[in-house]
Amino acid sequence: MEFDIQEISSLIKQEISRYRTEVDVARVGKVLEVGDGIARVYGLDSAMAGEMLEFEQGVVGEVFNLEEESVGAVVYGDYTKIAEGSAVRSTGRVLSVPVGEVLIGRVVDGLGEPIDGGPAIETAHRRLVEYPAPGIAAREPVRKPLLTGLKSVDSMVPIGRGQRELIIGDRKTGKTALALDTIINQKGQDVICVYVAVGQKESTVAEVVRTLREHGAMKHTIVLAASASESAAMQFVAPYAGAAVAEYFMVEQGKDTLIVYDDLSKHAIAYRELSLLLRRPPGREAYPGDIFYLHSRLLERSAKLNADRGGGSMTALPIVETLEGQVSAYIPTNVISITDGQIYLQRDLFLSGVRPAIDVGISVSRVGGDAQPPAMKKVAPKLRLDLAAFREMQDFARLGTELDESAQRQLDRGLRMVEVLKQKQFAPLSLGQQVISILAGSAGCLDDLEVERVAPFLQNMLDGFAMEAPEYVDEINRTGELGDALRQSIIDAIDAFKMIYKFSYER
């Protein structure tokens, strides 16, 4: 039997080339030291920044520092399983997390693993944790409103789909409650919500999940939690993983999404801890020099994509905690400069019963005004300026100065508008209900009511509209418009309800 030398050599070449493509070529190093969520690794000379590492016991990590003799890596997961001298394998890949509809209604950790006691998450879709933000050409202006259901926000600092609006204030001033109200209000609006909890107590996260479940909001929400008991590395990666989860719906399905980062102050502290452990030089207030880039590359991923890219959007509500109202501190200043406006919640207002405790003087929306529904624009064109002037007038009146008649009228109207804008937690209103409530105040229908009777009357009035004239609310909700004829009809109806209300309590 004769053999063809050329045929044999070609077969050998094919086998060699197939072996080169199929064999798993891995570079292996050794752990020099490990602790506090970071590890130093020797022997990975060709490792790249951001490359994913696999430690023994199935723990994953990421290359953070490239040094002359070793590699500094952060460890995602239980770093206590790793021992000095154990092997580390470089993968040639970057970190990704599972994404898709299967995550909706679930509570997961910073790597997308379930922590709610439910079944394992099985999905064919994964997305890179770190991903470039959409370019300018891929975006379009923010035009569509994202209603929060809160009168004070939707009238004075409106938010559009694709915007980044910072929620800022001292602790215990209602920042998380404002964000949760917004998530609850997206029920039935075809908006997928992602709530990222960074450095929160596990009991606090459990309370958030319970609140969302009670109000039926977990059906459109994904909760991603890196609690205070977890390592700084997990707290660092969680917001980026949350952005990747929301990006899937925005980019792949063209949907509108809302993501809440609660909060970026703790995220910055976690990154500072990692950086100092890896011996990066500290800068201002001991934060590393790239702390601005940390948050800018996260928040820039929020966008309104144009029709060629599917038309989806990601609206971001980052939360930042201040100390004693220091809005000009380092991290608050950084995030304010990255975002498209801020809602500042003031402790004094909160303690005096004005909730949401929005300080209209320094709260602003640089984009959302273009997305505000015409009906809201018509009833609250100068509401923010009027309330800011009212606050100044109130401080002036406290000095005991006598006011002229016009100033007294302004003060009286302002007191009633403050009552109009007060709202209970987790009770968002539809656009029509908000417009009618604000119209009652701005049109002067409440001027002859005692201040303490304004809130009960508004509730009574909205119940009356729901029972006897639902068409007014429905038309505003459907069209977003408020024509002159409809406006006058609503004012007449408000006056009629007021007569009945006054008659009932005067008896």
Catalytic residues, which ones?
Answer: 366
Q: Report d(CA 343, CA 337) in Å as an integer.
A: 14
Distances (CA, A) of 359 to 153, 212, 484: 11, 27, 31
Q: Which two tokens stand for residue 452?
A: 């303490």
189: number of Cβ within 10 Å: 13
| Segment holding 353, helix H or strand E | none
Distance of CA 95 to the CA centre of its chain: 22
Q: How far is CA 187 from CA 217, 221, 224, in A?
A: 6, 10, 19
Q: What is the SS3 assignment for 219-282? A: HHEEEEEECCCCCHHHHHHHHHHHHHHHHHHHHHCCCEEEEEEECHHHHHHHHHHHHHHCCCCE
Residues 166, 261: Cα–Cα separation, whole Å: 10
Closest by CA to 37, choosing from 65, 67, 70, 78, is 78
- Measuring CA to CA, how many Å separate 208 from each of 11, 193, 197, 261, 355? 63, 13, 10, 13, 19
Q: How many C-alpha atoms does 462 have within 13 Å on its Cβ side?
A: 18
SS3 121: coil
Q: Collect all residues with Cβ–Cβ distance below 8 Å to 1 and sequence separation of at least 6.
A: none
Coil vs helix vs strand at 34: strand
CB atoms within 10 A of CB 287: 20
How many CA atoms lie less than 13 Å away from 43 in the CB half-sphere? 14
Could you tell me which residues are beta bridge partners of residue 257? Answer: 192, 314
Q: Calculate the CA dihedral of residues 44, 110, 342, 143 and round it to 10 degrees.
A: 100
| CB half-sphere exposure, 29, CA atoms < 13 A | 22
Q: Which long-range contacts (CB under 8 A, 24 or more apart) does 13-17 make?
A: none
Provide Rg for the chain, Cα atoms: 28
